[in-house]
Structure 1
Amino acid sequence: MDVAMVYQPIEEQRQWGGSIVGCFYKPRNRVMTHANMMNNYFNPNSVYTEDDFRRRFRMRPHVFKRLLHDVHQVNPYFQQKLNRAGRPSFSPYQKVTVALRMMTYASPADSMDETYGMSESTCPDTFAELCNTIVQL
């Protein structure tokens, strides 16, 4: 077996696949997860009732919307922007929902990826931003 064909020098090997060392890009459809969440909880004729919302979020929908409005006005982190690739970032609804779910259920950050498409590294940032904004308000 020819060793030269198997071995690649370290400088030619790809070190990582994403923008952070050791992380790989996972295409998450933020628009689809936002639309799904809106259909489930926030749109007229949503899948889940107000009682379901209250049980799952531990607050009434109008309290959630007031909180969303207030943090959106105070902290630019909760305003939806375009990323460097021109794709929309997470919506304010997604950010507040993930942070509240982590707080309410003591959910680990990696469990938010499946439902909301938010990476394990983004969830703690979102949680911290929400907590700091609530204290500020």
Structure 2
Amino acid sequence: MRIHSVVEVHDPYFQQKRNARGTEYLRKPNSDDIVKLLQVGEARGFPRMLGSIDCMHWRCKNCPTTWKGMFTGHCHEPTLILKVVVSYNLWIWHAFFGLPGSHNDINVLERSHVFSEITRGKGPSVNYSINGHDYNLGYYLADGIYPPWATFVKAITLPMNRKTKYFTTAQESFRKDVERAFGVLQARFAIVRGPARFYDCATLKKIMLACIIMHNMIVEDERELHPQPDIC
């Protein structure tokens, strides 16, 4: 029998450093970050864009038999869902992890806290006008399953002319930021690339969040090595 154990370190200094890392590298974008994200979005042809949003499934190899029905969705095997918001440089600004794989993107969206501040009227103020309509919220690039909210910009399902085809091509291209982030996260950390071997959801959440923190640390460290979009 293989026994997995998790060692908790009770050193106050270690816990303080761990909490500090989580506060820095799992934080929400501040005002300076939002200004930068809006500038980059405008330079890429999507003014007032804050990033891309999507979900990833992590397969649970040791999911208890009694839970398999609840954790099995369209992947036809038990999984846990990770929802993230990613910017142009693959920095993960929002991470919500732990729901069973039987949920879809809409169900996860209703339970995550990505729009919790907006619903309380505390979200970042972003004012712009499109086709004669005024908006005061930034938006995210998303795929077709997401609801038709003002905070989501999706590709046109059946583009019929050059304008709509160009828009759809650009939207699908820049929305790949989140897909690239998932690929980079799995390439860097084999523990999330392969199936999860723990069965305790709390342990799996610690593993996933730790990998996201280290991923953002690497993005920050390698920022100067990769060209960034030109900002006028």
Q: Name which structure has the greater RCO, CA cutoff 8 Å, separation 6+.
A: 2
TM-score, normalised to structure 1, is 0.29
Relative to its length, the structure with more strand (as a share) is 2
TM-score, normalised to structure 2, is 0.20
Relative to its length, the structure with more helix (as a share) is 1
